[in-house]
Amino acid sequence: MDAFNYLSVLLSIILGMAITQILKGYRGMMQSRARLVVYWPSIIWSVLLLVLAVQSWWAMFGLRHHVDWTFLEFATALAQQIVMYLLAALVLPDFFGDAAVDLRAHYYGQQRWFFVLLLLLVGISLTKEFLFTGSIGDPSNLLFHLLFAALAAGGATIREGRFHGWMTGAAVLAIGAYIGLLFRHLA
């Protein structure tokens, strides 16, 4: 077993836990639909995180040719997946008991932590790119990262509902373009 196959096991486990967390939230919404107060940005962000988790796993394959792994490189790749899990854990509430579940209240209750973690994810992604390639990547990759950072910073600091609706729509377009332009083919 080479280093990539060995190290990618732990990364994949954490990513799998993130995906499971989101799917568990969907199960909770289905089972609690009679007492669920829907807030569409929560649902869209959960879908976006699911897409980002899959994209992260897809992009991880590009590291298979990296042979001389350092602990810092692995720790950065691991940190990226841990933050992805934490985002997945915050995006939807836990569904316990018989009380109403208000997705809007949950969204704004977790807003700062969620978007600060999203901003951290962008920073870790750029750091990982630099550690593995010695640069911050091509200009379009950097541009998307800066756009994601701006959206996350706005999400963390602005509580206005209209802004969050607009920002969620912008995130859908940005993540769709990011994956469509930079990750259409397996590296």
Average pLDDT over residues 27-43: 96
What's the average model confidence in pLDDT over 141-170? 96
Confidence at residue 187, expressed as pLDDT on a 0 to 100 scale: 65
Contacts of 147 (CB under 8 A, 6+ apart): 174
Residue range 49-68: mean pLDDT, rounded: 92
Mean pLDDT score of the chain? 94
Report the relative pairing of strands 36-37 and 101-102 from DSSP bridges: parallel
DSSP-based three-state secondary structure for 178 = helix
Give the contacts of 53 (CB within 8 A, at least 6 positions apart): 15, 18, 19, 22, 84, 88
The stretch 17-35 carries a mean pLDDT of: 96
pLDDT in tens, 107-151: 999 999 999 999 999 999 999 999 999 988 788 889 999 999 999
- What is the pLDDT at residue 119? 98
Separation CA 39–CA 43 (nearest Å): 7
If pLDDT is split at 50, 70 and 90, which confidence band does 29 have? Answer: very high
- Judged by average pLDDT, the poorest of 28-32, 39-43, 58-62, 160-164 is 58-62
pLDDT at 130: 95
The Cα-based distances of 118 to 86, 115, 148, 164 in angstroms read 10, 5, 8, 14
Do 75 and 7 touch, CB atoms closer than 8 A?
Answer: no
Q: What stretches of the chain adopt beta strand conformation (E)?
A: 36-37, 101-102
How far apart (Å, rounded) are the C-alpha atoms in residues 148 and 119? 8
Residue with tokens 């756009």: 147
State residue 136's pLDDT score.
Answer: 84
pTM of this structure: 0.94
